[in-house]
C-alpha cells in the first residue's frame, strides 16, 4: 500500500474506534471511507448505517454492514455519528468535500448526526482552501445558473443519484464563509462542498505512523 493509503487507513481505523455497538452511523464516500467500512466490519459490532452513495452502500453491504434507507419519511432521521473523508481542511476547520461528487448527500448525513468526524491523510490539511469547490446544480435552468455563477465548470461525470448536475466553482475561495453564503443563496445551486467548522466535531488525521484528533467543536 502507498504511504497516503496507509495514512487513510490509519485515520479510518482510529475513527472506527469512536463507534459503539447500537449506534446509527452515517457513512461517507471515497477511498478513505473504504478503509472505514473495512475497519467497522472488522470490529463485528452491531450498528445500523445509512450511506451517502451507491458505491458506499454496495461495499458496506458486501462487508456485512447493515445499511438502511435515508430517503422518504420512513427513512432514518437521526444518527449518532457520521464519518467521512475530505479533500481539504483549513486551520479554522473549514472543509471542502465532494471530490467524489457526493457532497450534497454527505452534508445531509453529517447534519443529521450528533457527531461528524472527518478522516484524512495529512496532505489534506492546507494553510488556505483553494478551488475547486464542488457544486451540485439543478438541471432546470442550468444555463442561467451557470451564467450567474460565472467561475464554474461542469464536471464530466454522470448526474448525482438524485439527478443533480455536478460542477466545480473555480473562483476565489479566500473567504469561505462569504463564498458559502453566496453559493447557498444562488438559485439552482442544490448544495456546495464547503462545510462550515460548526458541522465537524473533529478531524482525525494520520501522518506517517502517528494519528491525532484535531478538535473543531465541542
Residue 54 three-state SS = helix
Q: Check if the beta carbon of residue 193 is closer than 8 Å to that of residue 155.
A: no
Q: Alpha-carbon distance 123 to 197, whole Å?
A: 19
- Based on CB atoms, which residue is closest to ligand 5RP, 150 or 156? 156
Does 38 contact ligand 5RP by CB under 6 A?
A: no
Residue 179 gets the label, from left (phi > 0), alpha (psi -120 to 50) or beta, of alpha
- Based on CB atoms, which residue is closest to ligand 5RP, 11 or 73? 11
Residue 123 three-state SS = helix
Least CB distance to ligand 5RP at residue 33 (A):
6
Please select the residue that binds ligand 5RP; options are 10, 13, 14, 29, rule is CB under 6 A: 29
Q: How many residues bind ligand 5RP (CB under 6 A)?
A: 17
Where in 83-102 is the site for ligand 5RP (CB under 6 A)? 84-87, 97-102
Does 30 contact ligand 5RP by CB under 6 A?
A: yes
Residue 95 grid cell: 472543509
Q: Which residues are catalytic?
A: 106
Least CB distance to ligand 5RP at residue 106 (A):
6
Q: Would you list the DSSP string of 32-49?
A: HHHHHHHHHHHHT---EE
Please select the residue that binds ligand 5RP; options are 5, 6, 18, 31, rule is CB under 6 A: 31
- Sign of torsion over alpha carbons 194, 70, 202, 6: negative
Q: Which residues bind ligand 5RP (CB under 6 A)?
A: 28-32, 84-87, 97-103, 106
Amino acid at each position: 500500500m502507498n504511504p497516503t493509503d496507509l495514512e487513510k487507513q490509519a485515520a479510518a481505523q482510529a475513527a472506527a474506534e469512536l463507534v459503539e455497538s447500537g449506534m446509527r452511523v452515517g457513512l461517507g464516500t471515497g477511498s478513505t471511507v473504504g478503509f472505514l467500512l473495512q475497519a467497522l466490519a472488522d470490529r463485528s459490532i452491531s450498528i445500523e448505517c445509512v450511506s451517502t452513495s451507491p458505491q458506499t452502500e454496495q461495499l458496506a453491504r458486501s462487508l456485512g454492514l447493515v445499511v438502511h434507507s435515508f430517503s422518504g419519511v420512513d427513512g432514518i432521521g437521526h444518527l449518532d455519528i457520521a464519518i467521512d473523508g475530505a479533500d481539504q481542511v483549513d486551520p479554522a476547520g473549514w472543509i471542502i468535500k465532494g471530490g467524489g461528487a457526493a457532497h450534497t448527500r454527505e452534508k445531509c448525513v453529517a447534519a443529521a448526526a450528533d457527531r461528524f468526524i472527518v478522516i484524512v491523510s495529512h496532505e489534506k490539511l492546507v494553510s488556505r482552501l483553494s478551488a475547486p469547490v464542488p457544486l451540485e446544480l439543478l438541471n432546470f435552468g442550468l444555463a442561467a445558473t451557470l451564467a450567474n455563477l460565472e467561475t464554474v465548470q461542469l464536471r464530466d461525470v454522470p448526474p448525482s443519484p438524485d439527478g443533480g448536475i455536478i460542477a466545480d466553482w473555480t473562483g476565489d475561495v479566500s473567504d469561505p464563509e462569504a463564498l458559502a453564503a453566496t453559493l447557498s443563496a444562488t438559485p439552482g445551486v442544490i448544495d456546495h462542498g464547503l462545510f462550515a467548522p460548526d458541522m465537524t466535531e473533529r478531524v482525525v488525521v494520520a501522518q506517517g505512523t502517528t494519528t491525532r484528533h484535531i478538535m473543531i467543536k465541542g
